[in-house]
């Protein structure tokens, strides 16, 4: 095999590995979000977002921008101890946009005790990146299979 053929084969193998890594990256970021959320690590959760994200909660109006998302997340985490599990169903990448969608199951316990809330539904994370930068969440949406039972 010539040196050129070896270099071409290596370049193709590298490109395929990068594509595979990119394909798993967005679902990994969704899982990372869930881990930080469960740990109530707001600072780390917020590092996963683009500068001007939109969060679409299950109920109510969208939260637009980092300041509004930070405020609402901090309020939730002050009152609740969440335990969320995400199951990715599909992740795709097209250029500098990607998404991860799937289902979630969450148990939300009151910090001060009391009956826990059980929630389940679907989620959608929309990601964007610039150049070789890390994928960042630009929009996040939740649905619920049923109304919350308190």
**pLDDT digits 0-9 by tens, 55-99:** 999 999 999 999 999 999 999 999 999 999 999 999 999 999 999
Residues 6+ apart with CB under 8 A from 23: 91, 92, 93
The confidence score (pLDDT) of residue 2 equals 59
Segment 3-17 mean pLDDT: 42
The answer for residues whose C-beta is within 8 angstroms of residue 69's C-beta and 6 or more apart is 46, 49, 53, 55, 63
DSSP helix/strand/coil, 81: strand
* 143 and 121 Cβ atoms separated by less than 8 Å: yes
Tokens of 80: 């609740």
The two tokens of residue 39 are 């740990």
Look up the CATH number of domain 3-142. Answer: 3.10.450.50
What's the chain's Rg over C-alpha atoms? 19
């Amino acid at each position: 095999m010539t040196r050129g053929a070896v270099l071409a084969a290596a370049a193709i193998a590298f490109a395929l590995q990068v594509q595979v890594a990119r394909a798993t990256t967005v679902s990994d970021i969704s899982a990372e979000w869930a881990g930080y959320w469960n740990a109530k690590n707001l600072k780390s959760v917020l590092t996963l977002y683009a500068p001007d994200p939109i969060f679409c909660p299950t109920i109510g109006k969208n939260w637009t921008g980092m300041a509004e998302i930070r405020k609402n997340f901090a309020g939730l985490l002050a009152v609740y101890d969440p335990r969320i599990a995400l199951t990715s169903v599909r992740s795709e990448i097209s250029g500098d946009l990607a998404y991860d969608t799937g289902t979630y199951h969450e148990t939300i316990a009151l910090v001060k005790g009391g009956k826990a809330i059980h929630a389940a539904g679907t989620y959608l994370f929309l990601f964007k990146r610039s150049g070789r930068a890390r994928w960042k969440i630009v929009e996040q949406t939740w649905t619920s299979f049923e109304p919350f039972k308190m």
